[in-house]
Structure 1
Amino acid sequence: VVYSEPSFADAKRVIAYLGSYTHRVAISNARIKSINNTHVSFYFKDYRDIG
């Protein structure tokens, strides 16, 4: 069983819906370890790693 919502009535509603997802940052400041002129190092969790 798949649930799907009805399509949007107009373009303004589409923009409002997509806008809530496009204003998020990719990496939060808390995850950044270091930054220099050529590299950015950051923490991440590898969910594929079971151990």
Structure 2
Amino acid sequence: ALNAYMSYRQETMTLARLRHPCLISLIGAYVLSLSYVMELSPLGSLRSVIDE
């Protein structure tokens, strides 16, 4: 469990530093479920864009 948390923490710190017009931004992170809150993509998911 500690290894998963450390990996999640490192990934969160990396995502928080990323800034580019083609990337959605990290808004927040929830440690208890190891999940992220990301900016809403105006075009929907990458899968829906690829499928069109």
TM normalised by structure 2 equals 0.29
More helix by share: 2
Greater relative contact order structure (CA < 8 Å, 6+ sep): 2
Q: Larger radius of gyration, structure 1 or 2?
A: 1
TM normalised by structure 1 equals 0.30
